[in-house]
Structure 1
Amino acid sequence: MKRRIIGERGLKVSPQDRQISNVLYTMDEALEAFIRAKTAEGVRKGTLTGYHDIFRYFRQWLDEEITNINDITADTIRNYINYLRTERTPYAEDPQRKRTGKGLSVHTINIRIRGLCTLFRFLYNDGIISYNPMQNISQVRDDAHEEVPGLPDKQIDAILASYVDRQFAQWRDKTLIILLLDTGLRIGEALSLTADQVNFKELSITVPSQIAKKRKSREIPISREVAKRLRQLLDETQQYFGEGCKLFMNAYGEDLTDDAFRRRLNRLKRKLNISKLHPHMFRHTFARNYVLNGGDIFTLQRILDHADIQTTRKYVQMDNEHIREQHNKFSPLRNIIKRNGIRV
């Protein structure tokens, strides 16, 4: 008979001190207990949705005969990870993004591993399971690879030139991209903007703590040109949808979502024959260009809302063309040649 071990949350309990119950939890009951606890802790809705999705993907793969959470073993988890690495089709649920190859990226697999680790650690600490199958599971290793790259200048020009300003949706998307390139906002932060968050006089945007990833309010400067476009966009959306609307709305008066914007970028990517295009690339492009234009990395860290300067450094990815440009501009050899009158 499988038994439930109850102990103080977060504390190791010796086998002699554990209270044992005959209660068994189904998969759904265990997940519900986990979600209730995380909701009580104040975890945001988006994070809870992420946990739901991670567990849903896991459930879809599991054998239908496995119904109780205690039936999950470390071997079950390892088999699932191998499935994700070699058999799972990326974006299988999204026809527009579905890929022909097999195997998810290491980054995606590790996100799912971290989610399952959080789930099963909670279940074990709360006594819902007597054994934590994730205890000895490590994240998948990968060869060193470049972080999300920024967009080359030619691609940025092509993207902006592709929009038809006479059409509201395209003019709105272009305004959104220009905003991202000017501020480095996360796509969720940009799409949540309301009129009271934009200070058109002081040329700044406030990201409230309820939206910010670090739960700390911050103010970001914006260029005068961007403020002008946002003012025009706000006037038009308020005219059609009322004063309570957000800046970025779809043609039906609904909030523009990040998924909808990603789908629109995917269509644009195919149209312009660009290998990769998604919202976060504009944030990385801003970070790279900010430094190339003379901005200091510590100010950039504040703007991007990074807790660690090392994270900010990873965002500043420069391709060979930018490296050559910076070398030609700042090489100390030129001053040496000038001082010594060396002819070349």
Structure 2
Amino acid sequence: MKKINMSKSTNLTIGDAFELYIRKCTVRNLSDKTILSYKQICARFFDFYDTRKQVSTITEDTIDDYILWLREDVKVSDVTVNTYLRTLRAFLYYCMDCDYLDPFKIQLCKTEKPIKQTYSDEELERLLQKPNLRKCTFSEYKTWVFENYLLGTANRIRTALNVRICDVNFNDGFITLQKTKNRRQQVIPLSESLANILQEYLEIRGGEPEDYLFCNDYGKQATIRTYQQLVRRYNIKHNVNKTSCHLFRHTFAKHWVINHGDPFRLQKIMGHSTLDITKEYVAMFGNDLQIDFEKFNPLDKLNHKIGDGNKISMKRKGR
């Protein structure tokens, strides 16, 4: 008769261990999008190392060979290698914690972080020039408002499209973000310039308090892809080749740092779980920070330069 011991099974395959890991991620209530990204990124490692092998066969040398394979065979940059390693490391550290695998340290490759791309002041002046409300379509107008909103709040596009009209508090000057990347409700400041833009927009957009602030042409919730395409068309029309919604977020951070914004407030406004990403912005764009929101905010700064434009009324868009 086989003697019972305290050790866990060493016969667990990599595939079985990964299924247990995904189950644990589901129990932790990670988002479907996050879990899908874990599966997609780890699939690259599974192309390299057979999932039918025992998880206990993975060693530090295995990871070294994987890194070389990614560089030489897959031809990816070290930045991409680190993206793969971060996700794989979380899975393997889980295996180590469960005693499926002998512990060892997994280090990321040393890389030079590229400067994050942003919109220049000249590009922003083109994009923030208010369209003629007598001649433009509602689609063009709402895209202009949307770009002002992204620049004035540093919201991610998914977060912005989940803001409802009732989440914007004009009286007290803040916006409540119900859906964020880290799944925590967040309250951020509402600048005077953005408040004026949104108030005029809502006179035209109409809608009930529970309706989404940024909608499709019929007042209903819009998709991320729809607004990505709107921003792309709008920017190209205004001779701006950069078309990423996320660049408004980087631009917000750049202006904050250059104009001496407090890094702790920047962390809170941008919704970073830690100061790590905030420190990257500080390292890229400067230091010696202060706290005056209105002075650093790029939307306020550029709107003062551009001017309010002609406040021509537009008929309210039908639902």
TM-score range, shorter chain: 0.5 to 0.7
- Cα distance in 2 for residues equivalent to 1:249 and 1:145: 35
Alignment coverage as a number of residue pairs:
278
Q: Are 1:153 and 2:121 matched, yes or no?
A: yes
1:325 maps to none
- Cα distance in 2 for residues equivalent to 1:249 and 1:62: 44
Alignment of structure 1 residues 284-303 onto 2, 5 Å: 284-292=250-258, 295-303=261-269
Q: Is the 8 A contact 2:119 2:242 kept in 1?
A: no
- Cα distance in 2 for residues equivalent to 1:141 and 1:66: 28
Residue 89 of structure 2 aligns to a residue whose secondary structure is helix
Larger deviation: 173-182 or 271-280? 271-280
Residue 220 of structure 1 aligns to a residue whose secondary structure is strand
Q: Is the 8 A contact 1:26 1:68 kept in 2?
A: yes
For residue 176 of structure 1, the aligned residue among 142, 146, 153 is 146
Residue 205 of structure 1 aligns to a residue whose secondary structure is strand
- Deviation sequence 1:88-130 (CA, Å, 0-9, x none): 4xxxxxxxxxxxxx524x3332222111111112123224x34
Amino acid at match of 1:113: L
2:305 maps to none
Q: Is the 8 A contact 1:164 1:170 kept in 2?
A: no
- Cα distance in 2 for residues equivalent to 1:117 and 1:251: 44
Amino acid at match of 2:251: T
Q: Is the 8 A contact 2:212 2:221 kept in 1?
A: no
Residue 67 of structure 2 aligns to a residue whose secondary structure is helix
1:336 maps to none
2:317 maps to none
- Cα distance in 2 for residues equivalent to 1:76 and 1:164: 61
1:103 maps to 76
Structure 1 residues 21 and 289, CA gap change in structure 2 (3 angstroms): closer
For residue 143 of structure 1, the aligned residue among 100, 104, 112 is 112
Structure 2 unaligned spans of 5+: 287-319
1:19 maps to 7
Q: Are 1:279 and 2:279 matched, yes or no?
A: no
Residue 107 of structure 2 aligns to a residue whose secondary structure is coil
Residue 103 of structure 1 aligns to a residue whose secondary structure is coil
TM-score normalised to structure 1 length? 0.64
Residue 219 of structure 1 aligns to a residue whose secondary structure is strand
1:230 maps to 198
Residue 171 of structure 2 aligns to a residue whose secondary structure is coil
- Cα distance in 2 for residues equivalent to 1:163 and 1:107: 40
Q: Are 1:38 and 2:11 matched, yes or no?
A: no
Structure 1 residues 172 and 49, CA gap change in structure 2 (3 angstroms): farther
2:310 maps to none
- Cα distance in 1 for residues equivalent to 2:5 and 2:228: 52
Alignment of structure 1 residues 250-261 onto 2, 5 Å: 250=216, 253-257=220-224, 261=227
2:182 maps to 213
- Cα distance in 2 for residues equivalent to 1:238 and 1:266: 25
Larger deviation: 42-51 or 271-280? 271-280
Amino acid at match of 2:223: L
- Cα distance in 2 for residues equivalent to 1:32 and 1:245: 39
Identity level (%): 27
Amino acid at match of 1:53: Q
1:47 maps to 34
Q: Is the 8 A contact 2:258 2:285 kept in 1?
A: no
For residue 278 of structure 2, the aligned residue among 309, 312, 319 is 312
1:247 maps to 213
Q: Is the 8 A contact 1:206 1:220 kept in 2?
A: yes
Amino acid at match of 1:174: W
Amino acid at match of 1:152: S
Structure 1 unaligned spans of 5+: 1-15, 89-101, 320-344
1:84 maps to 70
Deviation at 1:220, TM superposition (A): 1.8
